[in-house]
Amino acid sequence: MRACRKVGIAMLLVLSASQVLAEEALYCVDTAAVGFVWDRKGEAKPTEFSPERHNVKVVSDSERLITRIQGGPAAAKGDRFNCTQDNNLVTCQAAILPTTVWQFYPDAYTRAYLYGGPPPSGRNPNIWVAYGTCTKF
């Protein structure tokens, strides 16, 4: 009876440890963000955007939840991204509207917002790319 109990406890510890190891959390900070904005005449001008901070929860090899931090604690739930891996590069694309793409390297990332266009398009008139570093926490 004691042996069964010990085996059961050991299995619970192994299963709970593997779940904890599967989910990784990253804190990512932009080093710089640049892109284009369109004026009222429809002319594009290069500009700098404010750097952002994000929490990234690695759910699995194929999914990450990315939450933008806006001056306070991050929201409990982030935007879901579908990811693929190729050696040390992980590429993630927004699951709902695939206009934002992240590329994660071992200790850095790049991200881009590619949905914009000139104001007549009726879309967000900004296009940008940012890069930065991530640390585990």
Q: How far is CA 38 from the centre of its chain?
A: 26
Reduced to 3 states (helix: H, G, I; strand: E, B; else coil), residue 103 is strand
Domain range summary for the chain, segments of one domain joined by +? 23-136
Q: How far is CA 74 from the centre of its chain?
A: 13
> How far is residue 71's CA from residue 135's CA, in Å, rounded to a whole number?
19
Compute and round to an integer the Cα radius of gyration of the chain: 20
> How far is residue 99's CA from residue 126's CA, in Å, rounded to a whole number?
12
pLDDT tens string for the chain (137 positions)?
555 454 444 444 444 443 444 579 999 999 999 998 877 777 888 999 999 999 999 999 999 999 999 766 555 678 999 999 999 999 999 998 778 999 999 989 999 988 765 565 555 667 899 999 999 98
State whether CATH 2.30.230 applies to domain 23-136: no
Q: Say what the pTM is.
A: 0.74
